[in-house]
Amino acid sequence: MSSEKHVAVLVFPFTCHHLPLANLVRKLAETVTNVHFSFLSTAMSNRDLFPPSSRAELPPNIVVYDINNGVPAGHHGATTDELIEQMNMFLKQAPKSFRAAIDATERDARKKRPTTRPWKWLSLFCISDIPDNILQDPTTSPVSNFVHQLVRMLSCATAVIMKSYVEAIPSPLTADLKSKFKILLHVGHILSTTSSDSNPTGCLMWLDTKNPRTVAYVCFGMIAVPSPTKLSTLAEALESTGTPFLWSIKEHMMVHLPEGFLERTGQCGKIVSWASQSRVLSHLACGVHMTHCGYNSVFESVAGGVPMICKPLSADKMMNGRLDGMVKALEVVLRSDAGEEMRKKVGELRERLVDASGPGGSVQADFKILVKLIST
């Protein structure tokens, strides 16, 4: 292999974690063409990220490797509990799977230099917001064991990379993190540049028919979902306020919606099993995002200048936002002066992050440092 350098990228292939990392690797590969990147993830994750129709668009210095996910055949993961079970199976199998894949990439690349580039996220939590499964005994909890091992490896890190912006993080926290690591880099929220169809459900055309800033976009992520009672309450709030809405919800959860809800709201609402979130949030008709406060979702809302009604459900979501009272929240954000002020503040933050990502901005500066780290 002619490439002088080799970077093996280990992926956590659940929810939306793999997409930002894939986008970062693509950007790096296009920037440093003499570095070979091995992207290690499960077969299902790789199919989602790099479908056969778009594999040809990958930079030639990226090679995708499938790893064993530890999930037995026939385990479908249709429900939230089953998806969590699959995650635990993966975490138990991950050390062996990644070690085998790394051995294969080292043979292919003829390069071997053990280093680590862990993601630092636990320091962003308040004590009360740390998920219960992290606090459990690491000998019995796969998630807790995974996090404990990750933390132990931090002392080996040449650099810590955050998919964030220094402008979006309180300066005391940034200063504290910088004091603990050799190099701390913020590479921003990198969106996909692939040309694949991202409007298969007609969401964007439907949004084209709505007035500016009037639609509530509802999505609670790929795994965590509200309880049936909370889903029903949310549906009742949307219906009682007459709010135009676009709701991305899994098909098996639709049975928990109030009887007749779909028929009664058919003129003002649209329900889909999947939506291109970044494109929906950047559409002029989108007025508010009802969200579980996932990290990607928060930044995509800011990028679109869309205020959020927050319903955190688990993990880091507890720290990213809190808000109760759906009916009141809809009225405030969409139909009041306070909502206009929220949009103004989100717009101001958006401009700061746009500047950070532009020429001479903090994200570009940190990205150049990252490029230098992996290419020299």
Strand, helix or coil for residue 343: helix
Q: Who contacts 271 (Cβ-Cβ below 8 Å, separation ≥6)?
A: 247, 249, 254, 262
Token readout for 307 is 């205020």
Alpha-helical (H) ranges within 242-335 are 261-264, 277-281, 295-304, 317-320, 326-335
Q: Mind listing the pLDDT tens digit for each residue in 21-30? A: 888 899 999 9
Q: What pLDDT sits at residue 122?
A: 45
Cut 0.75: pTM above it = no
Amino acid in position 302: V
User: In this structure, what is the dihedral angle of CA atoms 118, 123, 124, 126, given to the nearest 10 degrees?
Assistant: 150
Class (C level, CATH) for 203-335? alpha beta
Nearest to 334 by CA among 301, 287, 283, 268: 287
Parts of the chain belonging to CATH 3.40.50.2000: 5-194+356-375, 203-335
Give the separation between CA 281 and CA 276, rounded to whole angstroms: 9
Average pLDDT over residues 226-238: 85
Class (C level, CATH) for 5-194+356-375? alpha beta
Top pLDDT among 6 and 324 is at 6
Does residue 216 surpass a pLDDT of 90? yes
DSSP string, 1-16: ---SEEEEEE---STT
Q: Mind listing the pLDDT tens digit for each residue in 93-144? A: 777 887 888 887 777 766 665 554 444 444 455 545 555 555 555 566 666 6
Contacts 24+ apart (CB under 8 A), 175-181: 176/123, 177/120, 177/123, 181/120, 181/154, 181/157
Any idea which of 135-144, 218-227, 355-364 has the lowest mean pLDDT?
Answer: 135-144
